[in-house]
Structure 1
Amino acid sequence: MSDQEFTMSREERLAARLRDNLKRRKAQARALEAGAGAADATVSESPDSPETGLSNPAA
């Protein structure tokens, strides 16, 4: 561990990790949304198509 992490209190370390996690999750959500928007514009599949690997049991 670095000197800075060693001197930080438990609460400060947890708060820093929570902030990092939030940043990572937001970036991941933005990437998924950007990817989903591009995929929606180029591919139109039915929910139970064999390419998705999932079936639609409600249909």
Structure 2
Amino acid sequence: MNEIQNHSISCPYCGEIIEIDIDCSQRQQSYIEDCSVCCRPININASIDFEQQVYICATHEDE
């Protein structure tokens, strides 16, 4: 399986669908990525289960 996967999320600020890359070699990860549309910081929390299913939670910077 490719360790970097591209996923679509909805920006919690502007609502636009944006593409982000998730490093599937890390089971748990948390980082901030700016929206490519409105440039506001999004908290990205991602987890990968043992079946390589990716779960992403995108929230406002202060949540």
Which TM-score applies when normalising by structure 1?
0.19
Q: Which has the higher helix share?
A: 1
Return the structure number with greater relative CO, CA threshold 8 A, min gap 6: 2
Which TM-score applies when normalising by structure 2?
0.18
Q: Which has the higher strand share?
A: 2
